[in-house]
DNA sequence: AAAAGTTACGTTATAATATAACACTATGAC
DNA sequence: GTCATAGTGTTATATTATAACGTAACTTTT
């Protein structure tokens, strides 16, 4: 039984530098094992996504890449994102048109996002769909891809407001 | 216990003209009871949304409104949509940046969408969140708004492909 | 290692979606 | 009728995303 609590990384206080490094090296491993190239660009974009547990828009990623003298255009970012999404190294948060690094790359299966509207952090819970799938099956519907995004207030932010 | 099957209107063969009329008059009643104005514009947009059980983009709505001699601009559509969304007369399908008429206006509570990628129809199931809510509660998260969009193939389209 | 094939990157232009800001009009309250 | 408010209309622009085409870098074959 996958226990949710252990997966709820974003809302847990943790050594984030270490978290980033772990996820980056997991991405490297995953690409190597699949014979895919984690190119410099892709790595750059992934690193930007992994800077925090808050989702970031494609144009904000672009702005970060262009902080130096570089003048890079949107398609480059979208293509790197496409790769990362396909390989399950990043997720798209539909209700924000934004992107976030995956915190358990390699685990297949559907993901449920908890989006705090106060701190903007997004937690990723695995395998939520069972009940939903059942409802769908009842009407003969076969699920291909699921978007589950729950917006609200995380435990920390509830305390901070009172 | 709300039974899903009865709510799964979009994938059921039905007299759609009657369906439209029923939903439009339900909207009228709801607005009257809440002391809100279902103005001509709002009604026009709602009628366009109710033409089918397929989601439609804001600019497609705009195009329909502009089919005659009218030259109307985006904000008009977005404002009507804002009203309809707020009152629960329409829903936004996040993964498509599109909108759909609500098939059970007045029922509060979260909604789960089944989106057929073949026929593009969207069915609306009520009250799906219980299991998800539990996972969220386990980590102290309080849900405010939920987006549950399951993309796949409806029963009809499975048959039609083989 | 040159040729050929493929994958990734770069650039320009533009499409598609959404909103800010401000003016005008209709409606309801008094 | 005047006033306040809610709704509509218009212009301009912001934000998000992709099409199309060319170049560079890796890989495979020879």
Q: What percent of chain A has pLDDT over 70?
A: 93
**Residue A8 belongs to some domain of the structure:** no
**Residue A90 belongs to some domain of the structure:** yes
Judge if A55 and A121 occupy the same domain: no
**CB distance A145–B130 less than 8 Å?**
no
Judge if A159 and A93 occupy the same domain: no
pLDDT at A14: 95
Question: Could you say which of B11, B143, B152 has the minimum Cβ distance to residue A150?
Answer: B143
B136 vs A contacts (CB less than 8 Å): 114, 125, 150, 152
A37's CB contacts (< 8 A; 6+ apart) are A31
Alpha carbon of B159 to those of A58, A141, B48, B123, B153: distances in Å? 39, 11, 29, 18, 10
**Residue B5 belongs to some domain of the structure:** no
Judge if A127 and A96 occupy the same domain: no
Question: Could you say which of A116, A117, A142 has the minimum Cβ distance to residue B152?
Answer: A142
B104's CB contacts (< 8 A; 6+ apart) are B7, B124, B126
Nearest nt to the CA of B97 via C1' is C17
**Residue B2 belongs to some domain of the structure:** no
Query: Terminal CA-to-CA distance of chain A, rounded, Å?
Result: 34
Judge if A97 and A151 occupy the same domain: no
Other CB atoms within 10 Å distance of the CB of residue B35:
6
CA distance A109 to chain B (A): 13
Q: What are phi and psi of A36, to 5 degrees?
A: -115, 155
Report how many domains make up chain A: 2
For A102-135, give the DSSP string.
-SSTT--S-EEEEEETTT--EEEEE--THHHHHH
Q: Please state the rounded mean pLDDT for residues A35-54.
A: 97
B154 vs A contacts (CB less than 8 Å): 139-141
Q: Which of B53, B137, B143, B147 to mutate to test the interface with A (most CBs of A within 10 A)?
A: B147
Judge if A36 and A90 occupy the same domain: yes
Which chain C positions come under 7 Å from a protein C-beta? Answer: 7-13, 16-21, 27-28
pLDDT of A3 > 50? The answer is no
Judge if A59 and A139 occupy the same domain: no
Per residue in A57-108, pLDDT (tens digit) is 999 999 999 998 899 999 999 999 999 999 999 999 999 999 999 999 988 7
Judge if A59 and A97 occupy the same domain: yes
pLDDT in tens, chain B (162 residues): 444 445 589 999 999 999 999 999 999 999 999 999 999 999 999 999 999 999 999 999 999 999 988 999 999 999 999 999 999 999 999 999 999 999 999 887 889 999 999 999 999 998 666 777 888 998 999 999 999 999 999 999 999 876
| Pairing relationship of beta strands B111-116 and B122-126 according to DSSP bridges | antiparallel
Query: Can you name the residues that pair with A12 across neighbouring β-strands?
Result: none
Domain that holds residue A49: 13-103
Judge if A44 and A115 occupy the same domain: no
Q: Please state the rounded mean pLDDT for residues A137-152.
A: 94
Range in A3-7, A38-42, A43-47, A66-70 with the lowest mean pLDDT: A3-7
Query: Distance from residue A33 (CA) to nucleotide C3 (C1'), in Å?
Result: 30
pLDDT at A131: 76
pLDDT of A152 > 60? The answer is yes
CA distance A56 to chain B (A): 17
Q: Please state the rounded mean pLDDT for residues A13-26.
A: 97
pLDDT at A2: 43
Judge if A116 and A56 occupy the same domain: no
CATH of the domain at A157: 3.30.1490.190
């Amino acid at each position: 039984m996958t226990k949710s609590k252990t997966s709820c990384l974003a809302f847990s206080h943790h050594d984030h530098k270490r978290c980033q490094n772990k996820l980056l090296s997991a991405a490297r491993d995953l690409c190597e094992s699949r014979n895919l190239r984690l190119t410099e660009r892709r790595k750059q974009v992934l690193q930007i996504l992994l800077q925090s547990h808050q989702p970031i828009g494609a144009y904000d990623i672009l702005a970060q890449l262009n902080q130096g003298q570089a003048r890079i255009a949107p398609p480059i970012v979208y293509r790197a994102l496409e790769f990362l999404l396909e390989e399950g190294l990043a997720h798209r948060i539909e209700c924000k048109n934004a992107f976030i690094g995956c915190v358990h790359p390699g685990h297949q299966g559907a993901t449920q996002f908890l989006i705090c509207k106060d701190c903007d952090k997004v937690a990723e819970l695995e395998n939520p769909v069972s009940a939903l799938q059942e409802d769908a099956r009842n009407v003969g519907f076969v699920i291909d891809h699921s978007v589950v995004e729950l917006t609200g207030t995380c435990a920390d932010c509830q305390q901070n407001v009172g």
